[in-house]
Structure 1
């Protein structure tokens, strides 16, 4: 039974409000700093993607779920809120912020998904929406750079134009109006057949279907833009796979023209330095030429990467670190620097391109694996998006922590990316010590700030110890939460149970290492009604657990023992009514062609159990799988799951009847993700049936919805 700390709320209190802004223009912003606060972790908990300080005191961090945090005391304390806005259709939506630029003591800009651009003019305390060219079509705005409070640049996805090509957008008046600079055309790349009469083709490198991910300026006149590598797979004539491989009259596609986007901005003109196979010295042919006459020029993993992490070494040299696959490339764009095109004799490509790190770089080919780069071990630069340079010349690149075997890492280089060293940036011995990071900045004093996973923030002076005021009482990924009263709350998922005894001010956790080792997940939890000592747990391997001392004072841990087990089952949800009545729903895991749902019932606090099996079996593997159960009273209960299926009992779970479907005959049918019974007649359901996302309510016990 779902509970609040005030008991069941009256129907007049529990209201879902849909706001219709009939006279409000799309793009209106909402920066909420009051309604929802992080209970764990603290100071805030959204994943940080970017961090920018204007001076030694004022800084802004942005990230997931519309999160914006700002500090006015050098990161000692942070204020934060959630940013949302009305999209072009007039619906309130959130964003995932990707970039922020703090340009003056009062003005900063942040950009993100769904065409979002936000602006503050008071140092981060309040934010407004900035209309921009990518807003109307809800395209991602990935990067922003302003030269002063009014003149700035943004970039992201293409704007659904017929040519599918992104542009560099700029404003001269703080976002009031916008203009654009078209994508430049790059060098030459060869596609087609290596040894077939149909031949090959020399194409121009373009930006079709690519994204801009980072804009950076060296000064007002010189900057660089980097982005993704894969573009559209373009058609070329198809040939037979057997000799003599004659044309078939149809088309196939090629990807050997792909090139990681890199543009140079110089005095208002964009020049393409995108990283093609030819500019790296690869011809796209096996070391030993294949004999087949349908062999095509191929691509490789080096020239198709997405680059978000970029550092301008000087006006003519730029360093790039790929988002995946650990590729590091340094590009020289000085006037007169050229690279002979290996696939077009007599053609010189502008710029020189040096591959500094790659797991298995190909040697003048695309498919055979070459030897590692001499004297340079391969470094695991996982998902970097920022590079900064300390006053001593050291480059710093924080990276994300892997899900399996997590480890906190930052890569540093003292020779502009030629070689790298691995360092830590979080204090050791804490439950967040192996988190990863992506946002980084260096204050004028030289102090380094890094932020990342779950809002973790740490700082250090160069060569000093890393410190953090971050507090995380509990870790884990939680599936369910339940409330016994205003102070006692538990949440659980995987092998971790989080609990608070002071209404969420502080948390501790119970780690079931045996669950973790055996890959047992806690799917659901429930307190006995109003009893903070007794709780039940439903697991993914058919076990039901019980504790009678959940509220034991820390650091003591509660005793949690199994009270029921059924092999081959997943227990999905648990509900209680009173101190001794418990119900659990679940279904068989195998065989998938004959799954069936059951409800398990105890009226003596879990000491003994009975099974209710009066539910249809599942010949289609997706029918009638019960995942959620609610008992607002001892007699009335509801169960729901896949295929729009909702069942009801009025005799405490002894017998069950299928209720009318909320959306009969509509496909795909809804799979319900959660259910809340306010009382015996009022029930809420939420679920998905792509592309629909639905909330249903009944006020008459399920007769109508």
Structure 2
């Protein structure tokens, strides 16, 4: 139950490494616009400590690795984690040792990896000469075995990947004519089953909670070049879509429109969260972002709490749901804002990261006090992994993982 977006066209990581400074600048700009979410697979605290009636189910969302080059450690719990460098690796001892669970075949190179939990992950491969996508691979046993899905068409470019369950994923693509498509992969006897979208022209970001129920946000660009988002829901595997309207916050003008919608995840089939930013699409006026919560399987959404504090990279909702910024480029100042929503009120804590990070860090959050951070070395030959079990007050280096 998760979604991540991939670049429209792809280049080898060697190009990223040669253009490291440009990648970092672009990523910083991208993070300023929207921060990709990921999930930590843990129950945060006991029910006695809860300050609201929010359920104890952890939000689920994919963690993308390799979106801006090699590196990044996604820790799922205290023991299990994944990283993508020259190969896809997995740890089961808290990051001390790493085992290679996937590596490219001849004439291919690894692309992005998409981690759902300790057992389920997907990854892409590309032709090493043409950079065209060649296949998707899926494991549901922690990388011991992989199923290969030959790519649907060399002229289809990946937009988003949403993991529906242990077997299947929803893939949205754009073809060479800029027409969008939606496919269920691994859900039926056919490897690829095409579904419909509300319209074929435009960009989509998809989030599915099952093989039948999911959401898509259609991105419109007006004459001024500003984007607005329209939210849709399907309950019949994409055969039909119903438009959903988010209630406007009290201090946002009636003329405002959603300028970004991002799913934070569902804890179960009924309860889920998204974050929406608002703006005036006829100007460059941007208003605040707000958290929305559903308790009826996404049919209706209500505002949860006040405006999201500015410049925060991590959001913890009501002690139960931990959502972390995957590639949180927070090297400037060495701090990351940790925003916690409890009983409708926000509390922000600045967490100080290790002082000797050579590159922008990749942050994993298991709970409000147990954090992992990884960062590449200055020569791109390895990445160092640290953890903190006291809210980032002290950091301990666990390993140096060769790229």
TM bucket normalised to smaller: 0.5 to 0.7
Q: Deviations over 1:345-378 (max 9, x none)?
A: xxxxx73453867xxxxxxxxxxxxxxx5xx7x3
Aligned to 1:51: 74
Deviation string for 1:126-171 (max 9, x for gaps)? 76643243x52251253241423xx312224334567x23425242
1:420 is displaced (CA, Å) by: 4.3
Q: Does 1:231 align with 2:220?
A: yes
Instruction: Decide whether aligned partners of structure 1 residues 460 and 263 sit closer, same or farther in structure 2, where only a CA change above 3 A counts.
Output: farther
CA distance in structure 2 between the aligned counterparts of 1:274 and 1:67, rounded to whole angstroms: 41
1:174-222 deviation per Cα after TM superposition (whole angstroms, max 9, x unaligned)? x9612133224xxxxxxxxxxxxxxxxxxxxx57321326x353xx578
In structure 2, C-alpha distance between the alignment counterparts of 1:413 and 1:181, rounded to whole Å: 38
1:383-419 deviations in whole A, cap 9, x for unaligned? Answer: x7xx7779x425343462346x342315232438852
Q: Does 1:182 align with 2:196?
A: yes
The TM-score with structure 2 as length reference comes to: 0.57
- Tell me, what secondary structure is at the counterpart of 2:157? coil
Task: Work out which of the residue numbers 201, 205, 208 in structure 2 matches 1:212.
Answer: 205
Equivalent pair of 1:459/1:466 in contact (CA under 8 Å): yes
CA 1:128 to 1:57, structure 2 compared with 1: closer, same or farther past 3 Å?
A: same
Q: 1:323 to 1:316 in 2, by over 3 A?
A: same
Mapped partners of 1:224, 1:433: distance in 2 = 40
d(CA) in 2 for partners of 1:461, 1:306? 32
CA–CA separation in structure 1 for the residues paired with 2:344 and 2:124: 28
The CA distance in 2 between the partners of 1:224 and 1:420, in whole Å, is 31
Aligned-pair CA distance for 1:421: 1.7
Residue in 2 that maps onto 1:260: 229
Q: Distance in 2 between matches of 1:452 and 1:421?
A: 22
Give, in whole Å, the separation in 2 of the partners of 1:323 and 1:124: 37
Report the Cα distance in structure 2 between the residues aligned to 1:304 and 1:226, rounded to whole angstroms: 14
Is the contact made by 1:406 and 1:435 (CA closer than 8 Å) also made in structure 2? no
Is 1:380 matched with 2:399? no
- Match of 1:167? 182
Instruction: Tell me, yes or no, if structure 1 residue 119 matches structure 2 residue 131.
Output: no
The answer as to whether partners of 1:322 and 1:328 remain within 8 angstroms in 2 is yes
Structure of higher CA gyration radius: 1
2:385 corresponds, among 457, 480, 483, to 457
Gap regions ≥5 residues in structure 1: 1-43, 185-205, 234-252, 285-299, 338-349, 358-372, 473-503, 505-705
Contact in 1 for aligned 2:75/2:82 (Cα 8 Å): yes
CA contact (8 A) 2:170 2:184 kept: yes
Alignment deviations for residues 505-553 of structure 1 (CA, whole Å, 9 cap, x no partner): xxxxxxxxxxxxxxxxxxxxxxxxxxxxxxxxxxxxxxxxxxxxxxxxx
Matched, 1:354 2:303: yes
Give how far 1:468 is off: 3.2
Call closer, same or farther: CA 1:210–1:425 in 2, change over 3 Å. farther
2 CA distance for matches of 1:327 and 1:436? 24
- Local SS of the residue matching 1:183: coil
Q: CA deviation at 1:71?
A: 0.8
**Change in 2 beyond 3 A, CA 1:112/1:255:** farther
Report if aligned partners of 2:316, 2:323 keep a CA contact under 8 Å in 1. Answer: yes
Offset at residue 330 of structure 1 (A): 0.9
**Aligned to 2:273, which of 319, 322, 325?**
319
Unaligned runs of 5+ residues in structure 2 are 1-65, 127-131, 279-285, 377-382
Mapped partners of 2:190, 2:212: distance in 1? 24
**C-alpha displacement of 1:431:** 0.6
State the partner residue of 2:339. Answer: 412
Where does 1:281-292 land on structure 2 (aligned, <5 Å)? 282-284=253-255
| 1:400 matched residue in structure 2 | 328
Aligned twin of 1:515: none
Q: How many residues align?
A: 312
Q: Call closer, same or farther: CA 1:83–1:262 in 2, change over 3 Å.
A: farther
Q: Name the structure, 1 or 2, with higher relative contact order (CA <8 Å, separation 6+).
A: 2
Structure 1 residues 93 and 75, CA gap change in structure 2 (3 angstroms): closer
Whether contact under 8 Å (2:156, 2:173) holds in the other structure is: no
Would the aligned equivalents of 2:370 and 2:391 in 1 still touch at CA under 8 Å?
no
Q: 2:114–2:121: 8 Å Cα contact kept in structure 1? A: no
Kept after mapping to 2: 8 A contact 1:408/1:436: no
Whether 1:467 and 2:396 are equivalent positions in the alignment is yes
- Select which of 95, 98, 101 maps to 1:75: 95
Give the deviation of 1:379 after TM superposition: 2.0
Mapped to 1, the partners of 2:248 and 2:180 lie a distance apart of 22
Determine if the alignment matches structure 1 residue 432 to structure 2 residue 357.
yes
Query: After superposition, where does 1:234-313 map in structure 2 within 5 Å?
Result: 253=223, 259-260=228-229, 262-266=231-235, 268=237, 271-272=241-242, 282-284=253-255, 303-305=258-260, 307=262, 310-312=264-266
Partners in 2 of 1:416 and 1:469 — Cα distance?
A: 35
Give the Cα–Cα distance (whole angstroms) in 1 for the partners of residues 387 and 212 of structure 2: 31
Task: Indicate the residue corresponding to 1:136 in structure 2.
Answer: 154
For residues 117 and 98 of structure 2, the distance between their equivalents in structure 1, rounded to whole angstroms, comes to 16
Q: From the two aligned structures, give the one with the greater helix fraction.
A: 2
1:153 aligns with 2:115: no
Q: Provide closer, same or farther for how the CA distance between residues 425 and 268 of structure 1 changes in structure 2, counting only shifts above 3 A.
A: farther
2:150 is paired with a residue of what secondary structure?
coil
SS in 1 for 2:180: coil
Cα RMSD, aligned residues only: 5.0
Deviation at 1:80, TM superposition (A): 4.8
Check 1:98–1:260 CA distance in 2 against 1; reply closer, same or farther (3 A cut): farther
